């Protein structure tokens, strides 16, 4: 399959090898696109074939579950990289030349990632009154006219409720 996690597990690799070629094509395309429709198109089958295989093809569900985990892990790595390093934005002048670039941190993305990484600490539904403040900064690179533009500046704050202990864990 070319998929590292799927082929790393001999049992999953054997299940994959036992699938019909159209199901294998579907899974390869699904892992690349995270789309049932694109997977079906790549395999030359109707999108309902996937649901048929889930119910009726031995081993297909197990291989598909691994595919889902692999896609989730890949997107999580991508999201983590963007959360940690920010999003690079390029600004152009009217002639199409690069005017300047900046690194922008996305406060909502950071909050979502923090809640996913540590839901017990960063769960707004279970606030105990103590909050964590995350300061979001941005750096402008080049072309904005002053050295001050190279210094990180605060562009926002996120208040995230923290949880000291769950009830009954004492």
Angstrom distance (rounded) from CA 34 to CA 68: 8
67-86 mean pLDDT: 81
pLDDT at position 72 is 81
Neighbours of 144 (CB within 10 A): 14
Tens of pLDDT along 93-108?
Answer: 899 898 888 887 777 7
- This prediction has a pTM of 0.54
Considering the chain, what is the average pLDDT of its residues?
75
List the domain boundaries for the chain. 4-79, 86-161
Q: Which of 141, 138, 139 is nearest to 101 (CA)?
A: 141
Q: Which of 36, 35, 33 is nearest to 48 (CA)?
A: 36
Would you call 121 exposed, middle or buried from its count of C-beta atoms within 10 A (0-12, 13-18, 19+)? middle
């Amino acid at each position: 399959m070319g998929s590292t996690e799927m082929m790393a597990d001999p049992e999953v690799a054997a299940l994959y090898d036992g699938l019909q070629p159209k199901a294998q094509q579907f899974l390869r395309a699904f892992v690349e696109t995270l789309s049932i429709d694109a997977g079906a198109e790549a395999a030359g089958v109707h999108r309902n074939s996937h649901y048929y295989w889930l119910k009726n093809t031995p081993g297909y569900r197990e291989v598909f579950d691994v595919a889902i985990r692999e896609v989730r892990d890949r997107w999580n790595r991508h999201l983590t990289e963007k959360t940690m390093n920010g999003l690079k934005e390029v600004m152009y002048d009217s002639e199409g030349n690069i005017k300047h670039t900046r690194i922008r941190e996305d406060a909502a993305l950071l909050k979502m990632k923090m809640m996913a990484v540590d839901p017990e600490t960063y769960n707004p539904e279970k606030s105990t009154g103590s909050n964590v403040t995350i300061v979001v900064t941005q750096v402008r690179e080049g072309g904005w006219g002053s050295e001050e533009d190279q210094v990180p500046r605060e562009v926002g704050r996120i208040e995230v409720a923290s949880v000291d202990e769950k009830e009954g864990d004492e």
